[in-house]
Amino acid sequence: MMPASATRRAMILHEMGLETWRLRTPADSVAAPAPAVEVVADSLAPAIVADWERLRVAVRDCQGCELHRTRTQTVFGVGHSAPRWVIVGEAPGAEEDRQGEPFVGAAGKLLNEMLRAVGLGRGDVFIANVIKCRPPENRNPTPAEIGACAGHLQAQLDLLAPRLILAVGRIAAQSLLGQNEPVGRLRGRAHAFGPAGIPLVVTYHPAYLLRSPAEKRRAWDDLRLACRLVAPRAS
């Protein structure tokens, strides 16, 4: 008889379209997530809180590009104050613009299932986008718009200091890595981000996976790679 946790994982993988796949490493190979909390003042050291709150205000009031004229609100990001993983997507869509939260709707639901498949909840990671305002008609952000928001994202990563970055989708991957290669060529291996050399894994955007379910198997491989990169080392 399968343990309850294994049964639950099988159900999650079934929802992802990967019912025949199983983790090849023990469940405890993924470090136990820190308690899920919102990013609030009493969860961080005072100096970091001040920087975080200033950054939140700076993003909220940003007029660094023309997108501020058409947004409903900025989408700062949500999640754990000290995450092992930071998930970076492309840009807010219409629903994200309305709710002020990244990765909601169908793509967000699939992202949640992907995280659950490796033992993580939405509250165990921090989720952000390359840019904080929705481009009209959900078009791709321009290089100028990405450049205008680059400092905001970098500041978030500096303050959060994750052990791993998961870049979902072409624009997130290319922006973080400074490359023009397609996702298919960037995924499948570990990259190093920034002076600290934070491991960065590229995978497909959940919205793309909804349109191309056959690629979910490769996305599953990417998640397993990410888990291996942050797994506790044997003593």
Residue 143 in domain:
yes
Here the CATH number for the domain that contains residue 141 is: 3.40.470.10
Is the residue at 26 inside a domain? no
124 domain residue, yes or no: yes
| Residue 123 domain-assigned (yes or no) | yes
Q: Is residue 19 part of a domain?
A: no
pLDDT surpasses 70 at 186: yes
Is 149 inside a domain boundary? yes
Q: Rounded to the nearest 5°, which phi and psi values hold at 189? A: -150, 165
Residue 42 lies in a domain: yes
Identify the residue with better confidence: 95 or 8. Answer: 95
Give per-residue pLDDT as tens, 83-107. 999 999 999 999 999 999 999 999 9
Q: Global pTM?
A: 0.81
Q: pLDDT per residue over 124-171, tens digit each?
A: 999 999 999 999 999 999 999 999 999 999 999 999 999 999 999 999
At residue 108, the pLDDT reads 95
How many domains in the chain? Answer: 1
Instruction: Examine residue 12 and state whether it is found in any structural domain, yes or no.
Output: no
pLDDT value at position 231? 83
Give the domain extent around 143: 38-230
